[in-house]
Amino acid sequence: MSDHHSHFDPVQTLTDHAGHLNAICSPGWWPKVFYEFMSGALIWSDETNSKTPVELIWALQLIRAYRTSLMLNEPIDELKPIWELGLSLFPKWVGFRPERRQATPKLLQIHRRGAVSLRKCLRDIEREMEKEDTEPEPQP
């Protein structure tokens, strides 16, 4: 693998694909909203399409995490520069629509359920790891 491919640069990725995102400017008929575990963000199904490269989806995690932090009224200050970069590069992107950063009971419920599920999953993994750590090694 070349050095170019071994270093992920979200700023460069967003910059390189700004035109693609700006073209995704109309909301879908009835987009699904879901909680994304890696970023802790809410994502709408119409924010990318089948031509969206996977590295762009990864880079969008940062923007979506900041957007969700705005919705929760708990802005993540270190993500604000990438949010502002996105606004300047692809302002028409459907993910920047004002209603996607405003808390509604439905959106807060989706986020809360996702966050609770994630915490439960992490606790279960931690318990399983602790259990494995305390079990005696099998004898040959």
**What tens digit of pLDDT does each residue of 26-54 get?**
999 999 999 998 889 999 999 999 999 99
Gap between the Cα atoms of 103 and 132, Å rounded = 41
- Model pLDDT for residues 8-23, shown as the tens digit of each residue: 899 999 999 999 999 9
**Tens-digit pLDDT profile for residues 78-89:** 999 999 999 999
Predicted confidence at residue 5, as pLDDT, reads: 54
Calpha distance 95→22 (Å, rounded)? 10
Q: Residue 126: what pLDDT?
A: 87
H/E element holding 33?
strand 33-36
> Cα–Cα distances in Å, from 76 out to 7, 15, 46, 69?
24, 21, 24, 6
Inter-residue contact 28 to 74 (CB < 8 Å) = no
Percent of the chain with pLDDT over 90: 69
Quote the pLDDT of residue 6.
65
106-124 burial: b if 16+ Cβ within 10 Å, else e: ebeebbeebeeeeeeeeee
Question: pLDDT grade, residue 120 (50/70/90)?
Answer: confident
